Amino acid sequence: MEIFLHVETWVALLTLTFLEIVLGIDNIIFISITAGKLPKNKIRKATNIGLFFAMIFRILLLIGVSYIIAMKEPLFTIDLSWFQAGVSGQSLILLGGGFFLLYKSTHEIHQKVEGSTDETIQENGIQSSFTKVIIQIVLIDIVFSFDSVLTAVGMTNGLEGALLIMIIAVVVSILIMMIFAAAVGKFVNKHPTVQMLALSFLILIGFMLVTESAHLSNAVIFGQHVGAIPKGYLYFAIAFSLGVEALNMRVRKLIRKS
């Protein structure tokens, strides 16, 4: 435990924990929206189970980090007249996760705009619906865990005891998210405009995952290399949109009082 006697260890741990929480916000939003379809007495349980699986996946991926890095090597190549790419394991996971987010978010928006709902949950069907929700959460946990682990590896590269630091940061960040996830989920599900905004964010994130997949595959489309979208742009757009929505909510509240 001598590594915790060094200042750089604590700086890396605090920074990485903060980043894990930031990266986990997307996961919390998805879990909140998905779990929100369950009966109220099941929502918190589904949320905690989802975050618990997220923690397990992150730790397992951290332990197998050497395998993750090896997944950068192309599994197969595509060479067409207008499209070339070397598809790796990493890119396939991000591509699948991106398409899943695009489908799920678009489907949820369509349901809310059309006013339709999922099948009514009967007492004898609660377990089936609960299982379906957990499966969806687990699938997206895998994708978000992958991105989180890659960030953690990059942050702690070269540090002594890097694996232990990353595992502690993951556990602490997940515990913090478990504490606040219920409040976040309640707020998102209570305000339809915020929920629609959150679903729009998930579409942006899904598109970003698809482009990141193409970038990792060194994809070339009509002679143009596909570049990665800087995450700073995405987070700025999300923060700006939330700021505007906060002002709208304030205005609506003042109008109701008048």
Average pLDDT over residues 61-71: 70
Predicted local confidence at residue 66, as pLDDT = 62
Average pLDDT over residues 157-180: 78
- In percent, the amount of the chain with pLDDT more than 70 equals 82
Asked whether the predicted pLDDT for residue 71 surpasses 80, the reply is: no
Asked whether the predicted pLDDT for residue 149 surpasses 80, the reply is: no
Task: Dig out the tokens for 152 from the structure.
Answer: 């953690």
Predicted local confidence at residue 220, as pLDDT = 92
Asked whether the predicted pLDDT for residue 73 surpasses 60, the reply is: yes
Q: Which of 65-79, 137-151, 191-205, 236-250 has the highest mean pLDDT?
A: 236-250
Sequence-distant (≥ 6) Cβ neighbours of residue 152 within 8 angstroms: 16, 19, 20, 58, 62, 166, 169, 170
Average pLDDT over residues 237-247: 84
Task: Dig out the tokens for 67 from the structure.
Answer: 């395998």
Task: Dig out the tokens for 69 from the structure.
Answer: 């890095």
Task: Dig out the tokens for 106 from the structure.
Answer: 């678009």
Q: How far apart are CA 167 and CA 12, in angstroms?
A: 12
Predicted local confidence at residue 121, as pLDDT = 42
Q: How far apart are CA 111 and CA 108, in angstroms?
A: 5
Closest CA to 91 of 210, 220, 222: 210
Predicted local confidence at residue 7, as pLDDT = 72
Over residues 102-125, the pLDDT tens digits come to 887 888 788 777 765 544 444 444
Residue 170 in contact with residue 152, Cβ under 8 Å? yes
Counted residue by residue, the chain has a size of 258
pTM of the model: 0.65
Per-chain mean pLDDT for the chain = 77
Least confident range from 3-7, 55-59, 251-255: namely: 3-7
